[in-house]
Structure 1
Amino acid sequence: MPPTTAGRVVGVIVGVVVVQFVMLVAFAWPATRSAPRDVPIVVTGPQASAVAQRLEQQRPGAFDVRTVPDEVSARTALTDRDAYAAIVTGPQGPRMLVASAASPTVAQLLQQVAQNMSPPAAPTVPVRDVVAADPDDPRGAGFGALALPLVMSSLAAAVIVTFAIRGIGRQAAAVAGIAVLGGACAAALAQGWLSVLPGSYLAVSGVMALAIAAVAGVVTGLVSVMGRPGIGLGALVFMLIGNPLSAATSAPEMLPQPWGEIGQWLPPGAAATLLRSVAFFDGAGAGTPLTVLLGWILLGALLPVVGGLRGRRAETADNGRNEPALVP
């Protein structure tokens, strides 16, 4: 076997093993290390300070507890997505308010916390769901299952557009058309047949269209700059890293840090957070994830321009080398 061929084989073997290792770490590590870390909670009432101290003693570092003036402020913190739960203290004892729509996983954890707050032989602390998850998807399994197919189909769309269509403008038009139509179909599936998302159909389909455009546009742009390796890089960033760090099945605060926060700056995590905001919270907390998706879409629009400039420079250089030398 020639040395160059042997080196290529070794390189492929090492590359595949590295990809497998990254996949195992990206998917298994967050799942096995899932635990609450600075989950925002608000407390109010005469025993608010005592409750905050008790939570810190029972679960150090698990909750980020903030005191608010009254129950109205506590409910507002939930509906504005500033907190996952509120503990209201009073003469009749504490009560817990949760927003399971923000994360069914966190809501279930908080219900266990509420049970542990009650002294032995005392009534269990009542829990009320202020912003409930979809009744057809109370555990959020269907919602979480939307993330991976959306990313995979967007990657497939980028590959098809790259090899089937030539020209920056035509590729951009194809990505935009796929995003709009794909978002509309995905929203119809999620809200109709699967019934896992409430809210405005236009808003939900718009979020899904943005997610598709972000992934497909960037991967198409990477191919224009890097060639076929751009597909691998896009799959690595968006599917192998972005999908498990999206926290679509739990919450960013349940992942090891800083990975939970990093996941929110990638399209899968931003799309999941934005979907929750528009479907359950009337758009509350939508600003940051919307900005993230628009930023990736802008990057996807700029990359083909960079690729086109590089191609022109390479063509000019080749022409210069091929020009016959002038004979004096």
Structure 2
Amino acid sequence: MSKAYFINKVLATTVVGSYPVVKAGGFKSLFDPLGSAVETAVTDMIGAGIDIISDGQVRGDMIGAFAGKLPGIKGQEVVGKIQPAASAITVTDTKYAISKFPKVKGIVTGPSTLAHGLHISTPMYRNKEELALDLAAALVVEARSLEAAGAAVLQIDEPILSTGVADLATGKQAVEMIASSVRIPVCMHVCGNIANVIDEILKYNVGVFDFEFSKNQANLDILSRRDLTGKMLGYGCVDSTTDTVETVPEIRKRIEKAVEYFDPKILLIDPDCGMRMRTREAAYWKLKNMCEAAKEVRLAL
């Protein structure tokens, strides 16, 4: 897949997705309490210099934001057959981001991660694998809506896959059900240590694999010995678990390490994971410094 297919820039920067929720008061917030948080997230990402932004994913955690809208689920209980949401879940916020910036990624929580975040309380499903496949079918509708809205890339978040808890064959089938339903490039984000799952993960038919490397430096060694066969790599080089802001030279060093192993043309530069739990100031400066570090490496190539 050509990088120019969705952004024509070496070492382009992006986000994994979420941003701190910054609420504002005022009359407008009575109608949409989190609308200002979306606006803040989008403004900050653009201001930091991110090349492919998100809507900030401020409407809830990755399980609740989707599960809360899908028929067949009440709270965290699966009580009936999963159906697509009555209306698009994330499209309104994604459209807002697109109205402010040309390159926006649409994001859905992966079927396996969703399935393992829910409790089955119906004989309709015998196990999480059956549940994951029906969740994938429901999320196809969301993915197509994001593509129609103008998302430049679709990201499927599957953090559960690195844990060894989820069935990787079912995970593959579920992810590919969504990925094959759209024509835009598809990225799959898997955080954590990928040592035990990497050979199976690389068989997933997606265009971009996104992993964390700043907290899991061993992932770079593991991946450098694998053939990415024309796939792109989302390179997490900023620690999302702390408010400590890495300096530009620190992040630059991490990016330079990646360039030693991989063609910079296949690399997308991003944080390890979402920034939802960080302060706004920390999140902004982590992104700002990351963009500056990427720019310095880009100019030095």
TM-score interval, smaller chain: under 0.3
Which structure has the bigger radius of gyration? 1
Q: Which has the higher helix share?
A: 1
Q: TM (normalized to structure 1)?
A: 0.24
Higher normalized contact order (CA 8 Å, seq sep 6+, divided by chain length)? 2
Q: TM (normalized to structure 2)?
A: 0.25
